[in-house]
Amino acid sequence: MKKIFTILLPALLVIFNLQYSSSLAINESALNIEVAQKEAVQKEERPDSKITLNEILDKHYLAIGGEKAWQELKTLKFTGSMYTKDATFKTAALYKRPDLCRVDFQAGRLYFMEAYDGKIPWQMNPGTRSGPLVLDGKRAKEMIDTCDFEGPLVNHSAKGHEIKYLGTEEVGDQWAYKLEVKTKTGNLDIYYLDAQTFLPFMIKGSTTIQDKVVNTTIHLKEYIEVGDITIPFSYVFVVDDNPSTETLKIKTFELNPKIEDDMFKLPKRPQDLR
């Protein structure tokens, strides 16, 4: 069970590029732009590799809603389901500017939580039965990166991230702009942005599973246009040399809800209160 959690959590906000104000729940009637994207891909020719990194990032920002929509979003809550080979987990997550986040999983009586309060990354893991645990090492860095409210492709220089443009690559039936992203914490990922829509459809990186670093791939699907923003509603997680996959399906969003900072803080244990 611990393996499932450690595969999924580092990836949950890699590019949750969500913004705008008000509360909404998305149903099956929402506009799914992935179909249109696939139709465009069939006609796509090799893109001009002379495009600059700044041009790619600017077009990406516009594709997901632009600066105004981003700045109007201060907090976010989503719910959904995580489907694995062994179980289905109810999922809920909270995010608050600039870098606070908390992700909860539940299957029956099994409950798992991981959070970052802006200073301390921590988790509650039913497999350890030791109460709240402060994360350290690479796993702590992964959690900190997960809580980047806007994601590393937005205002990356101000956040201390480094991005390199690696050129174009054909992936299946679509062309991609490849971006190497090295975060302030030192984690390294490769983002694949569709050359026509400038929306990420794949991220290659690594995560820590049982103290071992393994290569991972995240496939982003089912982009949906909601108001002025465009967001993915499906995330498929793949670990190298592991035949099974995990899929996160987003069901509802609550944008700009009131969220207190205490929701992200490390819980006090009885021995801490003495």
pLDDT at 192 over 60: yes
pLDDT at 238 over 90: yes
Average pLDDT over residues 246-251: 94
Question: What is the pLDDT confidence band of residue 88, given thresholds at 50, 70 and 90?
Answer: very high
Element (H, E) at 164: strand 162-171
Question: What is the pLDDT confidence band of residue 79, given thresholds at 50, 70 and 90?
Answer: very high
Over residues 204-229, the pLDDT tens digits come to 998 777 777 889 999 999 988 776 77
Instruction: Output 254 or 80, whichever has higher pLDDT.
Output: 80
pLDDT at 190 over 80: yes
Nearest residue to 194 via CA among 37, 33, 68, 53: 37
- Which CATH code for domain 2-267? 2.50.20.10
Which backbone phi and psi does 69 adopt, to 5 degrees?
-65, -40
Per-domain boundaries in the chain? 2-267
pLDDT recorded at residue 45: 76
Give the CA distances from residue 177 to residues 36, 50, 263, in Å, rounded to whole numbers and listed in that order: 19, 11, 38
Average pLDDT, the chain: 81
Instruction: Output 9 or 214, whichever has higher pLDDT.
Output: 214
pLDDT recorded at residue 44: 58
- The answer to whether 222 and 232 are in contact (CB under 8 A) is yes
pLDDT at 104 over 80: yes
Average pLDDT over residues 78-82: 93
pLDDT at 138 over 70: yes
- The answer to whether 75 and 258 are in contact (CB under 8 A) is yes
